[in-house]
């Protein structure tokens, strides 16, 4: 019997299939070059930048390409976020985003040059920054119930500091005012440092901020802690009760850090980033580092993070409307 010859059409089909397969394999390669991690805040100015700089080298080890932190601060983080939103959707430009950008900002600004919801896609939440409500140590109150009673007896006469209008420290106490039915005067500062200084000095009576900013002064006796503002007790202050435990049911305020990419980034790139971040954040070394810096380890995937943003956004919209806060 003679050898059967494959039709030319069959050969051409096999060649085409091979080319498509090769192209698909090449398309799945990620990353193909260095990755830029945009932090929309100044270098060294916050726990967000510190954590991003700890994550970057660990991602570099696992991805096989350099992950470089790029600080693009300004406009409460919106400059850096917009830069990422406008970047090619190929997974090589990432955003270290926060709740302030995604859950609060859209309710504060009348116009944004980008849409956090439409132009950016969640990859993973990597850490939570629990907040603590602190007061001037000379106030004659020892706990949350006494502070609320003290404030109610002096409506409008006590003040609270914040690091700026519309930030989480500001909204934290606006939520307290709303839920506890008290009247406090807001005194905004340009940053957290002067807010802490004046609360210690008694120029303002209360402040709400992350554990890294408050715990050293609580431990030294310069400030008195009334409780942490998350639903669960913080890993960094396990003996400190929550405001929820003390009667303000459902009180839950924190800041968080998460990784985002431009919308329409290929699924295989998002999946690779997610699994790599999971491996990084779940190590004992990283978990211990987070706790030492006043953060709580918590890792959430894309859908869980999207759900969290949706819930927080609705809560902050109510607080912002009630307080009448507006930014241009």
Domain co-membership, 61 together with 109: yes
pLDDT-based confidence at residue 113 (cuts at 50, 70, 90): very high
List pLDDT tens digits, range 236-289: 899 999 999 999 999 999 999 999 999 999 999 999 999 999 999 999 999 998
Residue 47, token pair as written in the block = 């726990």
Is pLDDT above 60 for 16? no
| Cα torsion 70, 125, 161, 77: sign | positive
Number of compact structural domains in the chain: 2
pLDDT reported for residue 18: 46
pTM of the model: 0.87
- Establish if 238 belongs to a structural domain: no
Same domain, 300 and 316: yes
Residues 122 and 151 in one domain: no
Task: Report the mean per-residue pLDDT for the chain.
Answer: 91
Determine, yes or no, domain membership for 8.
no
138 lies in the same domain as 222: yes
> Which residues form the domain of 300?
35-129+254-323
If asked whether residues 144 and 116 sit together in one domain, one would say no
> What would the pLDDT profile of 57-76 be if each residue is shown by its tens digit?
999 999 999 999 999 999 88
89 and 163 co-located in one domain: no
Distance CA 273, CA 62 (A): 10
Residue predicted with more confidence, 125 or 75: 125
State the pairing for strand pair 158-162/184-188.
parallel
- End-to-end Cα distance, the chain: 85
Residue 290 included in any domain: yes
State the pLDDT at residue 10: 53
Q: Residues 265, 319: one domain?
A: yes
Q: Across the strands, what pairs with 227?
A: 133
Residue 175, helix vs strand vs coil? helix
Q: Are residues 141 and 124 in the same domain?
A: no
Burial 6-19 (b: 16+ CB within 10 A, else e): eeeeeeeeeeeeee
Domain membership of residue 4 (yes or no) is no
Query: For residue 292, what pLDDT is reported?
Result: 86
Instruction: Please classify residue 287 by burial: count the beta carbons closer than 10 Å to its beta carbon, then call 0-12 exposed, 13-18 middle and 19+ buried.
Output: middle
Do both 204 and 283 map to the same domain? no
Q: Where does the pLDDT of residue 45 fall: very low under 50, low under 70, confident under 90, or very high at 90 and above? A: low
Task: Provide the token pair at 62.
Answer: 């696992």
């Amino acid at each position: 019997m003679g050898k059967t010859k494959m039709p030319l059409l069959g050969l051409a089909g096999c060649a085409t299939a091979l080319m498509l397969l090769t192209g698909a394999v090449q398309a799945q390669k990620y990353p193909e070059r260095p990755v830029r991690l945009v932090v929309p805040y100044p270098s060294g100015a916050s726990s967000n930048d510190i954590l991003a700089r700890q994550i970057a080298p660990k991602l570099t080890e696992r991805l096989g390409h350099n992950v470089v932190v790029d600080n693009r601060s300004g406009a409460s983080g919106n400059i850096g976020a917009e830069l990422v939103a406008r970047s090619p959707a190929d997974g090589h430009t990432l955003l270290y985003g926060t709740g302030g950008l995604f859950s609060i900002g859209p309710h504060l600004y009348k116009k944004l040059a980008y849409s956090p919801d439409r132009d950016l896609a969640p990859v993973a939440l990597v850490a939570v920054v629990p907040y603590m409500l602190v007061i001037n140590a000379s106030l004659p109150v020892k706990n949350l119930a006494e502070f609320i009673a003290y404030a109610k007896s002096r409506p409008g006469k006590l003040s609270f500091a914040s690091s700026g209008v519309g930030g989480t420290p500001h909204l934290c106490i606006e939520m307290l005012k709303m839920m506890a039915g008290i009247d406090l005067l807001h005194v905004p500062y340009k940053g957290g440092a002067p807010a802490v200084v004046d609360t210690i000095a008694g120029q303002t009576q209360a402040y709400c901020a992350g554990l890294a900013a408050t715990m050293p002064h609580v431990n030294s006796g310069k400030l008195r802690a009334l409780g942490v503002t998350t639903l669960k007790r913080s890993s960094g202050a396990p003996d400190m009760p929550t405001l929820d435990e003390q009667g303000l049911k459902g009180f839950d305020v924190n800041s968080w850090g998460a990784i985002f990419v431009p919308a329409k980034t290929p699924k295989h790139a998002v999946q690779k980033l997610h699994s790599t971040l999971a491996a990084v954040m779940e190590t004992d070394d990283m978990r211990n580092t987070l706790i030492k810096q006043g953060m709580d380890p918590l890792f959430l995937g894309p859908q869980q993070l999207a759900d969290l943003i949706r819930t927080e956004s609705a809560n902050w919209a109510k607080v912002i409307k009630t307080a009448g806060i507006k930014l241009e």
